Amino acid sequence: MTRILVSEVGPRDGLQSIKAVMPTEAKKAWIAAEAAAGVREIEVGSFVPPSLLPQMADTAEIVAFARGIAGLNVVALVPNARGAARAVEAGVHGISIPFSMSETHSQRNVRKDHPAMLAEIAEVARIAREGGVHFAVGLSTAFGCTIEGAVPEDQVVRLAVAAAEAGAQEFSLSDTTGYADPAQVRRLVRKVKAAVGADKLTTLHLHNTRGLGLANALAGLEEGITTLDSSLGGLGGCPYAPGASGNLVTEDLVLMLNSMGLETGIDLEKLLAVRSILAEALPDEPLYGFTPDAGPMLDYAERIAR
């Protein structure tokens, strides 16, 4: 049976996209409940200045809590070398840095052009290496940009190679803006794998902005992707498409993978129960997903037993 890693990114990508600040104890309850449901990796926060993202001010405390959960891989996002040093000090197992394939997006998002970002990646790689922490680079806006539009695939490949040379251990292709389609996913996964090595491209970070999240995930699986990022309840929304869900919904993704006979290790019933923590702590935030409303199929237990 093929084992697929569902990496929960809601405590970082979901929470940083909303105005409300989730109480620290609610974050801890969320993370503990997902781990108890069988989720093996959680991106618990990001090491950015609290003045910029007050939602992430307690990340070091959350890392310390999550590290106490047996079998959980605790990862965090860092915007730069300073954040990487804080993450390593806090005790994360892994860090990732976003590297916008659209240079305009990079300049607006982190105020760095591509050469400056590659220099930053090299420094973060050094910090991670010395700290014994896994280091991944998220190739964001890889499928399109809300500022530039289409991003040339050859540009994505070139920048991925440059990041690998700068010290990236692993990559994810990120559909930051919800522009990807399945054919594009297949094409770009093949090209980047061919350039950096199949062992270095393992992950897709997908958004469901236009309803193509699961279709894109399936296309990635068919090309050998083994890790899929998702967010419980699709938390966070999409700032570029008001009313649309944001990240791929963890509950829907787990239903699909388990039903297909792929091994996630996640108990869907326990996972669905975690939504109550979010609903209580963030009563004004919409939660997305079809599975919570419709429930599993009547023969779901038979499907996952095959």
Active-site positions read 238
Per the CB < 8 A criterion, the answer to whether 28 and 281 are in contact is no
Closest CA to 75 of 51, 53, 59: 59
Structure-block tokens of residue 5 = 């890693």
d(CA 66, CA 72): 7
User: How far apart (Å, rounded) are the C-alpha atoms in residues 181 and 137?
Assistant: 22
For 298, residues 6+ apart whose C-beta sits below 8 A from its C-beta are none
Identity (one letter) of the amino acid at 261? G
Q: How far apart are CA 209 and CA 204, in angstroms?
A: 15
User: Terminal CA-to-CA distance of the chain, rounded, Å?
Assistant: 10
Q: With CA atoms as reference, report the closest residue to 250 among 68, 42, 73, 60.
A: 42
